[in-house]
Amino acid sequence: MSEPLVRVRGLSKQFGANTVLDGIDLDVARGSVAVVLGPSGSGKSTLLRTVNHLEKPDAGFVEVDGEIIGYRREGAQLRELSDRAVTRQRSRIGMVFQQFNLFPHKTALENVLEGQLAAGVRRRAAETRGRELLDRVGLADKERSYPRQMSGGQQQRVAIARALAVEPELMLFDEPTSALDPEMVGEVLGVMKDLARTGMTMIVVTHEIGFAREVADQVVFLDDGRLVEAGPPGDVLVSPTHERARAFLSAVL
Amino acid sequence: MSVDEAVRRHTLLARDGDEQLLGARLVARRKPGQWISAALALLVVAGIVKSLVTNPRYHWDVVGAFFLRPSILDGLVLTLWLTAAVLISSYLLGIVLAVMRLSTNPVLSSVSAVYIWFFRSVPPLLQLLFWFQMASLYPQISLGIPFLEPFVTIETAHLFSGLLAAFVGLTFDIAAFAAEIIRGGLVSVEAGQSEAAKALGLSKARIFWRIVLPQAMPAIIPASGNLLIGLLKGTSIVSVIAVQDLLYSVQLIYAQNYLVIPLLLVATIWYLILVTVLSTIQFFVERYYARGKGARTGFWRLWRGQLPLVPRSSPRRDVEVI
């Protein structure tokens, strides 16, 4: 097996006295999809947010494509990188949020342009790519719409296009369908399945067990900040060994 | 299934008189109180207008004769550009103060808080007199590092003219209020917006100017409009230190010809015109920053909509829902 794209080692994070992540180890192979399951408050979102340095770890590290995220190794020390260097690292990692977080004062196309323009792409080229991406998520006719004029499912698809626009090598999805009406979940999962098929490396926090079963190469289960179960969906979803995972799966299935 | 069919199948209960009810015209409730209060208000307005027109001591002919006097127009121009200059410098300073106030650096945050506390507490007129007397407090201003030989030294007696005192005093005063308005606007933008921008690889400066500040503007503009109008009128305090603004130019004339009331009216009308223009500009700026927030409202439609006696032609829909 080749070197994994994402390596998480000994990752720990505390908010005050509350331990949110407790020594997480995880590998995500290039081109594979990892689905993170677990009850709310188990640290799933924090794990994801540490991968692009929206949260700083208290111990351990995250490595993407051989580069430690947010830090530079200096002898026995890990020194935090400058804002500029962190910004550069983030531009190779796309992220999709539960609440979409589209920019409400910008149209769908302008939302998709923003990351490209920041990366120095010429406006003309950025627009061409932006339209391609909106077309790819099935929203070619919505380029002039503002987020508030679109349904939740449409907004989330624009958010996916926006994250893809900077050509990331890794995509993070933080409960992308949890804020959606049930009838719109399918369209967003559809776009994500297509994306997985193109060979994008993805880490997905979700409660959609069906998606995990169908798309995931690896399912990990978090409980109380610890990674208690990891493996192919056929194993983890069908015969989980950890008691908490068994209880969770029998409740959601 | 149609209503008739449902009645036939006994899933809906039919009752005598339903037909008439369905055909009845809906009549809105009458509101006599609105007409009575409107009539009373109009009576008061008519009284004021009558007195304005018939009282000869208003000297409207004198108002007309002095309205476009060059010295008054010069004062008007000074009022305008002093307002513009103070607006620009105080908002630049205000943005810096607001960002400092929100900074995680406790020193910067405290310095900003103390600045805001101090300059919101001191009356602008008092400050103006203070700056005007700067020469007696600090005869010289030196630029350099404390306790070392200064780089530059300026005599303050030549520095602080009345106009510069006015500019500095008003800028420091308005900046304190602007900082609070801007801070309120910045805080109102959801944290998720900066996070999404960070995740896209936008730099801090880019996030501030392109993502956060534009979204803070709808919260900043209305309060800033008030502040700007207050500033425009507030510049009239410079008349105290003999700066020839609109009010002082008028005072200079009535000091000679004793036509106090008509000349004060000249200044009043000019202030009314200026504030009307500013309010109109504010309307369009607000509308620009409301983009993405649903249907745009036209100027006249909005104005008509505020009249209590005219029923709206259609129910108001502020947000387009799909």
% of chain B exceeding 70 in pLDDT: 88
The pLDDT, as a whole number, for residue A67 is 92
Report the pLDDT averaged over residues A168-182.
94
The predicted pLDDT at position B312 comes to 44
CA Rg value for chain A = 18
Q: Considering only CB atoms, which chain A residues are within 8 Å of B295? A: none
- Residue B308: predicted pLDDT: 47
Residue B297 pLDDT greater than 80, yes or no: no
Tell me what pLDDT residue A173 has.
97
Which residue of B190, B199, B214 is in closest CB contact with A52?
Answer: B199
Q: Which has more confidence, A222 or B303? A: A222
Binary contact (B199, A149; C-beta < 8 A):
no
Quick check: A151 pLDDT over 60? yes
B210 and A54 within 8 Å at the Cβ level: the answer is no
Residues 215-254 of B with CB under 8 A from A: 215
- pLDDT higher than threshold 50 for residue B310: no
Work out the widest C-alpha separation in chain A, in whole angstroms. Answer: 55
pLDDT of B306 > 80? The answer is no
pLDDT of residue B1: 62
> Cα–Cα distance between B31 and B12 in angstroms, integer?
37
Beta partners for residue A170, in sequence order: A93, A201
Please give the residue that has the higher pLDDT: either A95 or B128: A95
B203 and A83: CB-CB below 8 Å?
yes
Q: What confidence score (pLDDT) does residue B4 get? A: 74
Partner residue facing B292 (CB), from A92, A105, A166 = A105
Residues in B closer than 8 angstroms to A119, CB to CB, are: 201
Q: What angle do CA B72, B77, B79 make, to 5 degrees?
A: 95
Give the Cα separation of B216 and B185 in Å (integer).
4
Residue B319 in this model has a pLDDT that exceeds 70 = no
Interface of A with B (CB under 8 A): 52, 54, 83-84, 87-88, 90-95, 97, 99, 101-107, 114-115, 118-119, 146-151, 159, 162-163, 166, 172
Question: Taking CB atoms and an 8 Å limit, are B196 and A102 in contact across chains?
Answer: yes
Give A-chain residues touching B193 at CB under 8 angstroms. 101, 103
Across the interface, whether the CB atoms of B291 and A105 are under 8 A apart is answered yes
- Chain A touched by B201 (CB under 8 Å): yes
Domain positions in chain A are: 104-167
Q: Considering only alpha carbons, which residue of chain A is nearest residue B214?
A: A105
| C-alpha B120: how far from chain center | 17
Cβ distance B200 to A162 less than 8 Å, yes or no, reads yes
Residue B272 has pLDDT above 80, yes or no: yes
Q: Which of B193, B200, B320 has the highest number of chain A CBs within 10 A, making it the mutation to test binding with A?
A: B200
Supply the pLDDT for residue B304.
57
Residue B322 has pLDDT above 60, yes or no: no
In B134-217, at which residue ranges do the beta strands (DSSP E only) sit?
A: 140-143, 152-155
Partner A contacted by B193 (CB < 8 A):
yes
Q: Chain B window 132-191: which residues touch A at a Cβ cutoff of 8 Å?
A: 190
What is the least distance, in Å, from the CA of A238 to any CA of chain B?
A: 35
Model confidence over A102-120: pLDDT tens digits?
Answer: 999 999 999 999 999 999 9
Q: Could you read off the pLDDT of B217-232 as tens digits, one per residue?
A: 989 999 999 999 999 9
Q: Radius of gyration (Cα) for chain B, nearest Å?
A: 29
Closest residue, chain B, to A91 (C-alpha): B201
Residue spans per domain, chain B: 60-135+163-316
Q: What is the mean pLDDT of residues A11-22?
A: 92
For residue A226, which of A90, A16, A36, A35 has the smallest C-alpha distance? A36
How many whole angstroms separate alpha carbon A224 and alpha carbon B13? 58
**CATH T-level topology, domain B60-135+163-316:** MetI-like fold (1.10.3720)
Q: Which residue of A has its CA nearest to B196?
A: A101
Q: What is the pLDDT of residue A174?
A: 96
Residues from chain B contacting residue A147 (CB–CB below 8 Å): 292
A60 pLDDT above the threshold of 50? yes
pLDDT digits (tens, 9 = 90+) for A33-54: 999 999 888 999 999 999 999 9
Q: Which chain A residues have a beta carbon less than 8 Å from that of B319?
A: 148
- Chain B CA closest to residue A151: B322
Helix (H) or strand (E) segment spanning residue A203: strand A201-205
The answer to whether the Cβ–Cβ distance between A104 and B210 falls below 8 Å is no
* pTM value surpassing 0.80: no
**Mean local confidence (pLDDT), A224-231:** 92
Who has greater pLDDT, B193 or B320? B193
Among B115-129, B150-164, B278-292, the least confident range: B150-164
Q: Which of A114, A169, A171 to substitute to test the interface with B, most B CBs within 10 Å?
A: A114
What per-residue confidence (pLDDT) applies to B161? 79
Helices (H), A200-242: 209-215, 233-236
Question: B82 falls in which pLDDT band (50, 70, 90)?
Answer: very high
Q: Is the pLDDT of residue B150 over 90?
A: no
Q: Which pLDDT score, from 0 to 100, does residue A1 have? A: 54
> Tokens 């103070």 — which residue?
B86
pLDDT more than 90, % of chain B = 59
| Run of H or E including B110 | helix B106-121
Pairwise CB contact (< 8 Å): A103 & B200: no
- Residue A63: pLDDT band (50, 70, 90) is very high
Contacts of B229 (CB under 8 A, 6+ apart): B275, B278, B279
Q: Where are the strands (E) in A6-122, listed by range?
A: 6-15, 18-28, 33-37, 59-64, 67-68, 71-74, 77-80, 93-96
Instruction: Answer whether B199 sits within 8 Å of A163, measured CB to CB.
Output: yes
The partner residue sitting opposite A149, judged by closest CB among B203, B214, B322, is B322
Low-confidence winner among A240-244, B32-36, B87-91, B307-311 (lowest mean pLDDT) = B307-311
Quick one: tokens of B272?
């009314």
Q: Which of B199, B204, B320 sits opposite A90 (nearest CB)?
A: B199
| CA–CA gap between residue A86 and residue A79 (Å, rounded) | 12
Closest CA to A188 of A210, A159, A219: A159
Q: Which of B278, B248, B281, B282 is nearest to B264 (CA)?
A: B248
Look up the ipTM and state it.
0.91
Average pLDDT, chain B: 86
CB-based contacts of B295: which residues, under 8 Å, 6+ apart?
B317, B318, B320
Q: How confident is the model at residue A243 (pLDDT cuts 50, 70, 90)?
A: confident
